[in-house]
Structure 1
Amino acid sequence: MKMYPLIVFIWLFLQMFCVPGASVFCAENGGAPVDGDWLINHLGAEPATLNPITSTDAYASNINDYIYESLLKRDEKSLELVPVLADSWDIAEDHLTYTFHLKKNIRWQDGQPFTARDVLFSFERIRDPKVDAAHLRNYYQDIEKLEVLDDYTVRYHYRIPYFRALEFCGGIPIVPAHLFKDDEDFNQHPIGRNPLGTGPYKLLRWDTGKEIVLVRNPDYWGERPHLDRIVFKIITDSTVALQVLKQGGLDVLGLRPIQWVKQTQGKRFEQNYRKIKYYLPSYSYIGWNLRKPLFADRKVRQAMTLLVNRETILKRILFGLGTVVTGTFYVNSPEYDQNIKPYPYDPAAAVELLKSAGWQDHDGDGILDRDGIPFSFEFLISAGSKFGEQLATILQENLKQVGIKMEIRKLEWAVFIQKIQQHDFDACTMAWSLGWVSDPFQLWHSSQAAQGSNFVGFQNEEADRIIETARMEFDAQKRYKLYHRFHEILHEEQPYTFLFTTEALVAVARRFENVNVYPMGLAPREWWVPPGAQKYREQ
């Protein structure tokens, strides 16, 4: 995605008054950056794997960003693609070949050299249908081959143009080929518990259920970060996490709205922590499993959205710290159609829609039914989500008033996501963290309904055509027009009840310097702690 006017305004304003690079907080202690100290992060759930090719959740991504690198990345400040493991790249005029020239003398954290063979091996694993990488595979499906020209040069050959090809060719997750044997099950390889990359930090230990500890890589090829360790404490209850933060056991914590507004006030908290808020491209939603007979009819899905009082939920649970959204694109982006307005909370209209779909209380038991089957379903939520619990409770009561029975089922994250991936659910609530350039293929194309991220099973021929056409459209304005029509289709079909884009609310210990908010959010790899404020020492 692009930078948008409000974000650009804040960014430029902060540049005028603080350190270069849009720093929200000017240095408190001053002086030159020094090495030392640890950063203690919060992890709301334990990742199933740290294999960067098979992992799908944000928890793993947060950790892997410190361990693994790719050929290029998106710069936090400019949002431009910049080189990392690649020195440079060449793009053919027809957008069908992409050649990357790799840096030399890069080594994996076990000392083995990084070469083009690692890129090829990783590409082949992503393309292998036996590997659990359907969420990535769709972005590489139009590549005819990846050619290794020599140890430090690779060339991608596309069969058709793709407007995000450079980002995905250059941003491919890369694992060390030398660690894998031909007859091994890639999905179960020990690298999932023992990650090994080329990045500035490496795994020190993983204490299941407690913490994952990274230590600075002394042989890192690039600019070394200042912090000795990055520690991720696994605390699934956000209330407990806030208590640990206040006791000094955490340095960074994403706050719930009620915590931001009511539970982090007072002079003592302000002395110890900075409170930062900013928007990132993301949204929350309720997903209706279209494979289930209950939700196969779009009239029913429209009715369900009419029964969700989003404005009240936003005010009561989120204290107004967000925006109701109507589609899959970031609300502040040109891809998002601002002319599409949210469905209102309207139980009477919902009842009429349900009636037209055949749902009435025929037997007088207070529950809607059709063909003798009651309107009853299970709503899955993750055990660590306070918002999910509150949303489910409000929704359950609203549905009960019109004759719909909803059971709430709370599951630990690993079990929850497994149920979603296996399509073993009626309805659920989750959130997506979006890319900076939009391509809805992964979430919405019908080909992604079986094994990809189209968990709800949405299938629509016109939507497929739009998604496929937009992928080959390099004119942004024409692509936006296509996406606006796609937005209309989602609004009509309601495979999700789209909820909110909310602000990221973060508390950061004040001893850290150079805490900047960029268009892409925080960049902890830049942080450092003055000698007199350092809290932890290497053992």
Structure 2
Amino acid sequence: PLTADDVAFTYNNCRDNSSVNDFSMLKEAVAVDDTTVEFHMNTPFAVWPYTMAIVGIVPEHAYDENYGQNPIGSGRYIMKQWDKGQQVIFEANPDYYGEVPTMKKVTVLFMEEDAALAAAQAGTVDVAHTAASYSDMTVDGYDLFSVQTVDNRGFNLPATEAAEIDGVTYGNDFTSDVEVRRAINIGIDREEMIQNVLNGYGTPAYSVCDKMPWYNEEAEVEYDQDKARELLDAAGWETGDDGIREKDGIRAELTMLYPASDSVRQALAEDTKNQLTELGIEVTTEGVDWDTAYTRAESEPLVWGWGAHTPMELYNIYHTMSETGLAEYSPYSNETVDKYMDEALESSDLESSYDLWKKAQWDGETGITQDGDIPWIWLCNIDHLYFVKDGLKIADQKIHPHGHGWSIVNNVDQWTWE
């Protein structure tokens, strides 16, 4: 049985032991009776509904260091088998309290893009995630299924001058010029990227929270390459004999990093390179592993993927961290932006915080959008694409967050064969 004691235990355990998410705002979860839990907070935290929603409840009596291998749940399915790195098999829970799942058994395979495509071509899977680069292919017995997302792709532009802190270089002397960042933002043709890189399966991105209730439409810009050149000219970035700009001995050049295993991010990096070359900016692209990427992104742009159903995504990317005095994923800091986000978290309820999240993006004078600091350039929200076997009816999908794997099967209990 799922009890309030289990719920309280779970959140208190997250507070004390989670290394993935921050639960320091929680003072204590208290089971009032068998079905009621009270959350006592150290500080107001308006987005608590989003934070608590991502937590899976665990049974206090059976929770130990081996629980992750043999979870016990009250949900629609039971995990029957897990072959690490290969597959996980779920079977319908006979004791589930809700509607009986239409799919009695679900096997999720862990595959790279090429392997998933090959499995679909062989007819050995019912659904196969695929990349936009394969979207124009025809697979016999399958249709292409597209889902809209807030799964965005963009890159950071270090907003401070280069400096070393504890052996790590933070900042970039070229991108620390705000006019450079503004020129790059309007000098990129997002629609061209969507057509040429994503085969049309995507939407332009101007923030980390497009389509969400807290999105500020002031983030949107018009593509204007001529205006981008004017901004660079006015800022003193003069074009040299080789076509590359320079100012005060600093060359307009940067290295664009991307995760080496991601073909879409590589293609976006290459497209960005080609477009910025037309502005007189020299770009070198480089595929790296994530251990390398996290460190080097403090001083060089990296093609990232973000997007979640919570305004904390804004906070995590743009809010100053106490350890360095800079935002965590790109050297950047703005006290006014911090203040709006802090006030948003202290709001009495979630809906009343939306306006403050919008002001953090742009309040008419400062923010993180085009006329503000623009420390990130957002390119596109990528559609999640799947080859689906003929006769399989996938239930209606909500807008997917970042990550293509688990969102599609969130309602697999409602899928049917026709």
TM over 0.5: yes
Structure 2 gap segments, 5+ residues each: 160-169, 401-407
Q: Give CA deviations for 1:110-136 in whole Å, capped at 9, x if unaligned.
A: xxxx772564355344455xx532xx2
| 8 Å CA contact 2:87, 2:109 repeated in 1 | yes
Secondary structure of the equivalent of 1:201?
strand
Alignment of 1:407 with 2:284, yes or no, is: yes
Give the deviation of 1:221 after TM superposition.
Answer: 4.3
Q: Which residue of 2 aligns with 1:233?
A: 109
The alpha-carbon distance between structure 1 residues 310 and 281, as it changes in their structure 2 partners (threshold 3 A), is closer
| Structure 2 counterpart of 1:116, one-letter code | D
Give the deviation of 1:433 after TM superposition.
Answer: 2.8
Distance in 2 (CA, whole Å) between partners of 1:480 and 1:207 is 41
| Structure 1 counterpart of 2:282, one-letter code | K
The alpha-carbon distance between structure 1 residues 387 and 202, as it changes in their structure 2 partners (threshold 3 A), is same
Q: Which residue of 2 aligns with 1:338?
A: 217
Q: Which residue of 2 aligns with 1:310?
A: 190
| Structure 2 counterpart of 1:287, one-letter code | N
Alignment of 1:526 with 2:409, yes or no, is: no
Q: Give CA deviations for 1:314-365 in whole Å, capped at 9, x if unaligned.
A: 222234333323223223x44333355314241x443444455554467x56
Distance in 2 (CA, whole Å) between partners of 1:449 and 1:528 is 51
| 8 Å CA contact 2:147, 2:399 repeated in 1 | no
Distance in 2 (CA, whole Å) between partners of 1:218 and 1:480 is 39
The alpha-carbon distance between structure 1 residues 507 and 484, as it changes in their structure 2 partners (threshold 3 A), is same
Aligned 1:171-186 pairs, distance under 5 A: 171-175=54-58
Q: Give CA deviations for 1:380-404 in whole Å, capped at 9, x if unaligned.
A: 2223433222222222223334443
Q: 2:9 aligns with which of 120, 130, 135?
A: 120
The alpha-carbon distance between structure 1 residues 213 and 442, as it changes in their structure 2 partners (threshold 3 A), is same
Q: 1:497 aligns with which of 371, 374, 377?
A: 377
Alignment of 1:325 with 2:205, yes or no, is: yes
Q: Which residue of 2 aligns with 1:510?
A: 390
| 8 Å CA contact 2:208, 2:307 repeated in 1 | no
Distance in 1 (CA, whole Å) between partners of 2:10 and 2:171 is 39
The alpha-carbon distance between structure 1 residues 487 and 449, as it changes in their structure 2 partners (threshold 3 A), is farther
The alpha-carbon distance between structure 1 residues 395 and 240, as it changes in their structure 2 partners (threshold 3 A), is same
Alignment of 1:283 with 2:152, yes or no, is: yes
Distance in 2 (CA, whole Å) between partners of 1:471 and 1:407 is 39
Distance in 1 (CA, whole Å) between partners of 2:171 and 2:299 is 9
Q: Give CA deviations for 1:401-454 in whole Å, capped at 9, x if unaligned.
A: 44433222223xxx3266337855611112223216777323322138869994
Q: 2:303 aligns with which of 397, 408, 429?
A: 429
Distance in 1 (CA, whole Å) between partners of 2:171 and 2:313 is 27
Distance in 2 (CA, whole Å) between partners of 1:450 and 1:219 is 51
Give the deviation of 1:517 after TM superposition.
Answer: 0.8
Aligned 1:138-149 pairs, distance under 5 A: 140-149=23-32
Distance in 1 (CA, whole Å) between partners of 2:296 and 2:413 is 36
| Structure 2 counterpart of 1:527, one-letter code | W
| 8 Å CA contact 1:305, 1:343 repeated in 2 | no
| 8 Å CA contact 1:284, 1:501 repeated in 2 | yes
Alignment of 1:350 with 2:228, yes or no, is: yes
Distance in 1 (CA, whole Å) between partners of 2:213 and 2:122 is 43
| Structure 1 counterpart of 2:110, one-letter code | I
The alpha-carbon distance between structure 1 residues 164 and 394, as it changes in their structure 2 partners (threshold 3 A), is closer
Q: Which residue of 2 aligns with 1:155?
A: 38
| 8 Å CA contact 1:245, 1:251 repeated in 2 | yes
Q: Which residue of 2 aligns with 1:53?
A: none
Taking structure 1 as the reference length, the TM-score comes to: 0.61
The alpha-carbon distance between structure 1 residues 476 and 122, as it changes in their structure 2 partners (threshold 3 A), is closer
Distance in 2 (CA, whole Å) between partners of 1:250 and 1:417 is 33
Q: 2:121 aligns with which of 241, 246, 255?
A: 246
Q: Give CA deviations for 1:141-199 in whole Å, capped at 9, x if unaligned.
A: 33333335577654211244433334434553445556777xxxxxxx6666x362414
Q: Which residue of 2 aligns with 1:72?
A: none
Q: Give CA deviations for 1:17-66 in whole Å, capped at 9, x if unaligned.
A: xxxxxxxxxxxxxxxxxxxxxxxxxxxxxxxxxxxxxxxxxxxxxxxxxx
Q: 1:387 aligns with which of 243, 264, 284?
A: 264
Distance in 1 (CA, whole Å) between partners of 2:70 and 2:180 is 45
Distance in 2 (CA, whole Å) between partners of 1:339 and 1:398 is 24
Distance in 1 (CA, whole Å) between partners of 2:80 and 2:303 is 32
Give the deviation of 1:480 after TM superposition.
Answer: 3.9
Distance in 2 (CA, whole Å) between partners of 1:524 and 1:255 is 18
Distance in 2 (CA, whole Å) between partners of 1:244 and 1:251 is 9
Distance in 1 (CA, whole Å) between partners of 2:326 and 2:56 is 17
Distance in 1 (CA, whole Å) between partners of 2:295 and 2:101 is 37
| 8 Å CA contact 1:282, 1:330 repeated in 2 | no
Secondary structure of the equivalent of 1:263?
coil
The alpha-carbon distance between structure 1 residues 250 and 433, as it changes in their structure 2 partners (threshold 3 A), is farther
Structure 1 gap segments, 5+ residues each: 1-104, 107-113, 182-188, 531-539
Distance in 2 (CA, whole Å) between partners of 1:174 and 1:218 is 16
Q: 1:471 aligns with which of 331, 345, 349?
A: 345
Secondary structure of the equivalent of 2:217?
coil
Alignment of 1:165 with 2:48, yes or no, is: yes
| Structure 2 counterpart of 1:338, one-letter code | E
Distance in 1 (CA, whole Å) between partners of 2:237 and 2:222 is 20
Secondary structure of the equivalent of 2:215?
coil
| Structure 2 counterpart of 1:524, one-letter code | V
Give the deviation of 1:455 after TM superposition.
Answer: 1.3
Q: 1:416 aligns with which of 277, 290, 314?
A: 290
| Structure 2 counterpart of 1:230, one-letter code | V
Distance in 2 (CA, whole Å) between partners of 1:476 and 1:122 is 20
The alpha-carbon distance between structure 1 residues 449 and 322, as it changes in their structure 2 partners (threshold 3 A), is farther
Taking structure 2 as the reference length, the TM-score comes to: 0.77
Distance in 1 (CA, whole Å) between partners of 2:246 and 2:93 is 65
Give the deviation of 1:308 after TM superposition.
Answer: 2.0
The alpha-carbon distance between structure 1 residues 335 and 150, as it changes in their structure 2 partners (threshold 3 A), is closer
Alignment of 1:462 with 2:336, yes or no, is: yes
Aligned 1:16-27 pairs, distance under 5 A: none
Distance in 1 (CA, whole Å) between partners of 2:93 and 2:227 is 64
Distance in 2 (CA, whole Å) between partners of 1:301 and 1:231 is 46
Secondary structure of the equivalent of 2:182?
helix
| 8 Å CA contact 1:123, 1:172 repeated in 2 | no
Task: Point out the more displaced range, 153-162 or 446-455.
Answer: 446-455
Q: Percent identity?
A: 17
- When the two chains are superposed, the root-mean-square deviation of aligned CA atoms in Å is 3.7
